[in-house]
Amino acid sequence: MNIAVLASHGGSDLQAIIDACRSNRINAKVCAVISNNSGSFALQRARDNGIPAFHLSIKTAKTADALESEILATLANTNTQFIFLAGYLKKLGTSILKTYKNRVFNIHPSLLPKYGGKGMYGLNIHEAVLAANETETGITIHRVDSEYDTGSIIAQTKVPVKPNDTPESLAARVLEREHSFIIETLEKIIKELNMNPYKQCPTYETQSFIIRLVKEEDAQDLLSCYSDPKAQALFNIDGFPHDCKFNSSEEMLKYIKFWLKEYAQEAYVRFSIIEKSTNKAIGTIEMFGMVGRYKTDPGILRVDIASVYENEVYLKEIFDICITNFHSLFEVKTITTKAPPIATTRIQVLHEAGFKPHIYNGKEHYYSHSN
């Protein structure tokens, strides 16, 4: 499991994570360290341990949008599977949070929701705890959302406040506990993610699409797509009875509910492809072969794209998402996908993207991409 650690200053929490990875305490490796501070010791720790280190800030990118793009590209290029903020004092952009939905975690030195929010960092937190005459404080690890310290709480631990504490002595006691608490919690997070790779189910965004878990509200749009004779002829949608006619949105909804049930039971996942210009679902991406009763060849993720669109630009965006994200997300060596001979545009795009003809379960017309 590849972790990118973002830190702004000393990086002692980062060092705890590096040490735990090296000792196999946690089944992961730090694949990148990013800091907004060129002089942070976190970057030096990364370099000392042979880990790719990146200074990315408004100074290097000039604009907030450019910075967000640089961070996202760095995460993709280092095959990041989830992100841990270890004293990172900047907000992450919307596209990063969408791409790594439910896979961005932060550690905060208080028992949230107490002493969280903008301005609550470093000694400010411990000064506030002492000013309120608290008898205990603690540490929180939570998922990251668009606001400071408001994401869902994953784990907390308490740390006593002593009568003669200063902000500095309290900070030191909390930090000491942080180092072990991070590893305890990461063990649980990584175990959960490894048990069910589909549980992460992020949302992806390209220039033309938003790709997210299928929803019941997509029924009418997908009815138009799946009932189109061209779609049936081109893509031979797998998993449906041959007499399935999709005569109504109610029938389509029945299948969507079935897909969501299968997802909940860890069998497979189906994404909807939402066209930004129309805000309509124009197809789906189905992924299986990793868990559940559809598990097939070890290390192979099957990706079936069902859409009436054979637009070259659209297909390039979709397959780029597959290559850029799915290898690392599902820790697979090979992605395979179906393209019947009449899907000439799709086959051309697959060849250009590095896919090769592949016999899958004894069947032809499949193409695979190996990492």
Active-site residue list: 108
Q: Is the bond into 113 cis (omega within 30 degrees of 0)?
A: yes
Sequence-separated (6 or more) residues with CB below 8 Å from residue 92? 68, 71, 83, 85, 104, 144
Give the number of other Cβ atoms within 10 Å of residue 291's Cβ: 18
d(CA 370, CA 316): 17
Token pair for 4: 């990118």
**Beta-carbon contacts of residue 288 (< 8 Å; ≥ 6 apart):** 267, 268, 269, 294, 295, 296, 301, 302
Contact 118, 148 (CB under 8 A): yes
Please enumerate in sequence order all residues whose Cβ is within 8 A of that of 251, keeping only pairs 6 or more positions apart, or say none: 223, 245
Q: How far apart are CA 243 and CA 329, in angstroms?
A: 35
Query: Is the distance from CB of 141 to CB of 111 less than 8 angstroms?
Result: no
Q: How many CB atoms lie within 10 A of CB 221?
A: 21
Q: Which of 98, 100, 113, 210 is nearest to 152 (CA)?
A: 113
